[in-house]
Amino acid sequence: MLECNWRDGKWETTHIKPYGPIQVEPSCKVFHYGQAIFEGMKAYKDEAGDVFLFRPEDNWKRFNESAKRLAMPEVPYEVFVEGLKTLVNLDKEWVKYGEGLSLYLRPFMIASENGVAAAPSTEYKFMIVMSPAFAYYRGEVRVIIANQFSRAADGGVGYAKAAGNYAASFYPNNLAMEEGYQQIIWTDAASHEYIEEAGTMNIFVRIGDKLLTAPSNDRILNGVTRRSVIQMAKDHGIEVEERRIRVSEIKEAAQNGELKEIFGSGTAAVIVPIKGFKHEDFKYELPVIENDYATNIKAALMDIQYNRTEDKHGWRVKI
């Protein structure tokens, strides 16, 4: 694991050491005021045994956007990206080759100053830990479209990968699971009229031949995979619209047969097709179609990640 501490207004020497416990005091500020952010990334191995990262600079930039929002220091490129490359290179034998296999990478930062005064910490700990990963969301996924709970509100921290965003989602998701659904499609806090994200993923909706996705804003995470999916869709000649999507529009499209696909996108899952949804008393099962966008775009993305095709956009970074 990699560790680097921020004290006295500067970053100290970066250390890489065996994975193990870290020692903090009960008054460590992260426990009391929630200054904690993270990123999710993966390393992939190709048939020849070479290892690659996928768009690491984009994760670094977003990490620092999260840091600024939570009044935390920005992490230098040399610590985040170069440190990540060095760490993965040391443990590259843990990157397994095979469809859906990868090494999951978790950069994170916590407030590490001791004290219970309600103020930003004066000390921070940046770390990267890793774990071999298998395919995510193996079963079928059905969702509830939220009409009560919200993931984020205007002016909040929804666009940041703040730990608290995920903690706040667990209770509503548990309620959905009790009804037999695997995830929630979050709606806007003001009116619950517009869809925003699907669980921990960005959301895409296909109506007719057009692919729609909610725009990035201060409530919605600007996902690296989301941006990659949009580009892949455009590369395949698919019309993409980034705009607000009403729940009523989705239900109307379902009723008139125009709703073809709903899928989520994210680092862990890449793309997850949604098989059905419920909104209030309305339930709908998505049709099984040939040549669906989700399958084709996921295959195109994974071909780039596993070095099976040309990388026209310069996303792949060799270790």
Helices (H), the chain: 29-33, 56-69, 77, 83-90, 163-178, 224-235, 247-255, 293-305
- The tens digit of pLDDT for each residue in 274-311 reads 999 999 999 999 999 999 999 999 999 999 999 999 99
CATH topology (fold) of 141-305: D-amino Acid Aminotransferase; Chain A, domain 2 (3.20.10)
Query: CB-based contacts of 291: which residues, under 8 Å, 6+ apart?
Result: none
Domain limits of the chain? 2-134, 141-305
- The tens digit of pLDDT for each residue in 196-238 reads 998 889 999 999 999 999 998 889 888 999 999 999 999 999 9
- The tens digit of pLDDT for each residue in 113-141 reads 999 999 999 999 999 999 999 876 567 89
CB under 8 Å, gap of 24 or more: what pairs does 297-305 form?
A: 297/229, 297/232, 297/233, 297/236, 297/271, 298/270, 298/271, 300/232, 300/235, 300/236, 301/225, 301/228, 301/229, 301/232, 301/270, 301/271, 302/99, 302/270, 304/54, 305/42, 305/44, 305/52, 305/54
- CA–CA distance, 307 with 318 (Å, rounded to integer): 10
Report whether CATH 3.40.50.300 matches the domain 2-134: no
**CA-closest candidate to residue 162, choices 34, 301, 253:** 34
| Confidence band of 181 (pLDDT split at 50, 70, 90) | very high
Average pLDDT over residues 244-262: 96
pLDDT of residue 200: 84
Fold: same for 2-134 and 141-305: no
**Cβ 35 vs Cβ 71: under 8 Å:** yes
Average pLDDT over residues 13-39: 97
Percent of the chain with pLDDT over 70: 99
pLDDT of residue 87: 98
- CA–CA distance, 305 with 102 (Å, rounded to integer): 10
pLDDT of residue 136: 65
pLDDT of residue 262: 96
- The tens digit of pLDDT for each residue in 72-126 reads 999 999 999 999 999 999 999 999 999 889 999 999 999 999 999 999 999 999 9
Taking the CB of residue 242, how many other CB atoms lie within 10 A of it? 13
pLDDT of residue 139: 73
